[in-house]
Amino acid sequence: MHIQVKDLNKSFGSEYAVQDVSFAIEEGSLIGLLGPSGGGKTTILRMLAGLEEPTSGEIYFHGKRVENLPPQKRGIGFVFQNYALFKHMTVFDNIAFGLAVQKKPRKEAKARVEELLELTGLSGLGGRYPHQLSGGQKQRVAFARAIAPEPQLLLLDEPFAAIDAKVRKELRTWLREMINRLKITTIFVTHDQEEAVEVADEIMVINKGSLEQKGTPWDIYKEPQTPFVAGFIGESNLVEDCSRLKGFERERAAKGMIRPEFIEIFLPGEGTIVSALEPGTVRSTYFRGTVWEVEVETGPHRLTAYRSLEQDPLEVGDEVRILIHRLYRFDDHSGVMVENANKVDPMPVYI
Amino acid sequence: MAVMTRVQAAKPVSRPRHLTEPAWVRWLLIGVALLFLALMLILPLATVFAEAFKNGADLYFAALKEKNALSAIRLTLLVAAIAVPLNLVFGIAAAWAITKFNFRGKNLLITLIDLPFSVSPVIAGLVFVLIFGSKGWFGPFLSERDIKIIFAVPGIVLTTVFVTFPFVARELIPLMQAQGTAEEEAAASLGAGGWRIFWKVTLPNIKWALLYGVILCNARAMGEFGAVSVVSGHIRGKTNTLPLQVEILYNEYNFSAAFACASLLVLLALVTLGVKSLVEWLQHRKQE
């Protein structure tokens, strides 16, 4: 379903939960609403579903205004954060609920539920009650229940929040495949950037009720348009004045944000582009499972960087040199990604 | 006042020795509890039946078959049959309004629901006399039209409704608050209308608490004395409920008849407790 939202606002008293949010979503895409907790993501989702009334603004489904329609009339499926399964009904009856509302013939409904049980890997669990299921199974039931009446739009509120880490990973992949197969327009809310990046075709970053940026995960990572997005997506180091770093002298004095993966650490004897290297001292090292996380003190800064397990390990106190490949320079309003100028020095000095 | 707590026998937990009191403390506590229970509860209960049957079973049944006694039983049942359904509907409506909507004066409403518990029953009865009695606000209006409320059945029903007002609502509000509105919202997002949501989603979730509230409400409706006594007028065979009948018989030194009627009320209490335990047990088993 093609969705368009114009100047959506929601205020509780004088507090704005959502402020002037506008966006359009293509049919069949999988969108992640990403942002910190309490940022207004869930409110946007609930307004799309009709569970919350906008203070002002317009919502269009397929060109038709819907903001005054009750949730029953919007043709949506909603997966709640805590699943909100009907406790007193079996899994089968839960999934069949929406079909019963549509007054589908019993036989047809039964076939549809069986098909969904099969699809969601719940075959044989139809007779169980929600409290007899694991978190992941409940999540699948909630999903099956939401898509049973064949909604045009599927809305998921923090679908993986209540599931433990390992199952969550499996479920993410499962959900992605499922939605690709069903080709249903989907919007999900998450505060976990890893989840958004992994699952969504497109991400909308929401902060303090406003839409900060909308784009593919790669675009948002590569070219954040606001300081908030730069800081929220991925890890980052903050430096007060980026023009004092080697390779960025030509920049005007402004704050800079540097991702750890954009910093390379060299021991003496490693590294080539001397003019781009900043001297520093290793202050601490942490083993992060797949990589070393190293804190390097250089001038007034303490920067976090990664070092591959393949390379020689670093010790605290080692004198090293670091290469900052690129950083995100920003002021109060906007920012831009800047490459290290000396990396492409026309006359590099080799040692 | 009414019993509003739900205590279930906790599963025996094996406590480590450093948390357990010495044996003599344990036995002392258990002994005191049992002694008190026997003295204050079991002994009076047994006395009722002993006194009722003192002059033989024939006299006991004769006392119950007496015209005025039968009329009192009928009236008691009638009052409960009107008051309980009314408070059932009101209780659900109030609990629904308080837990599913936000509105001004919500806290005031919650406090008001408790009012019948905090007001002495005698005052409750008096209030109705002052409103509907011959010298009350609506007194002239009612007597002109020959409508009798005070010293008649309508007054008894009114005061009983007032006194038993909070039971159902009080049982439902905490439960519905804890359950929130997520399941209702899920049903709405699946296309269900308000009526279907109520019958298929809300009601099944509150049915045990509702039943529990109704049982307590019924017990109180049949047993209420103070408020009903003020408005009833004690007209034999007409406006006497069972508790009032007991008092009259007792005041006339007709002890065995008084205790016979009292035994009915005790029986009702025992049945209520039995049903209540059954409900709790069923509910517990359902949750396992």
Q: For residue A108, what are its two tokens?
A: 């047809």
Task: Determine whether the interchain pair A72/B204 forms a contact, defined as Cβ–Cβ distance below 8 Å.
Answer: no
pLDDT single digits (tens) B114-156: 888 888 888 988 888 888 877 777 777 777 787 777 788 888 8
Low-confidence ranges of chain B (pLDDT < 70): 1-13, 287-288
Query: Which stretches of chain A score pLDDT less than 50?
Result: none
Q: What is the pLDDT of residue A112?
A: 93
Q: Chain A closest CA to B203's CA: distance in Å?
A: 10
- The gap between the terminal CA atoms of chain B, to the nearest Å, is 32
- Tell if the CB–CB gap between A71 and B188 is shorter than 8 Å: yes
Contacts of A102 in chain B (CB under 8 A): 191
Contacts of B196 in chain A (CB under 8 A): 101
Q: What is the pLDDT of residue A244?
A: 79
Contact across the interface for B183 and A146, Cβ inside 8 Å? no
A16/chain B closest Cα distance in angstroms? 19
Q: What is the largest CA-CA distance in chain B?
A: 77
pLDDT of residue B172: 92
Contact A76 B189 (CB under 8 A): yes
- The per-residue pLDDT for A162 is 75
Q: What is the pLDDT of residue B2?
A: 41
Closest residue on chain B to A84 (Cα):
B183
What is the C-alpha to C-alpha distance for residues B140 and A65, in angstroms, rounded to an integer? Answer: 59
Residue A39 dihedral angles phi and psi, to the nearest 5° = -90, -5
Which pTM value belongs to this model?
0.77
ipTM for the predicted complex: 0.79
| A53 min Cα distance to partner chain B (Å) | 14
For residue range A64-120, list pLDDT tens digits in order: 999 889 999 999 999 998 899 999 999 999 999 999 999 989 999 999 999 999 988
- Would an 8 Å CB–CB cutoff place B183 in contact with chain A? yes
* Contacting residues for B151 by C-beta, under 8 A, at least 6 apart: B231, B232, B233, B235, B239
- Judge whether A60 is closer than 8 Å to chain B, CB to CB: no
- pLDDT of the residue at B261: 87
Cross-chain residue pair B185–A149, CB shorter than 8 Å: no
Task: Give the residues across from A210 on adjacent strands.
Answer: A207
Which two structure tokens, joined as six digits, stand for B215?
A: 């049982």
Nearest to B183 among A84, A98, A131 (CB): A84
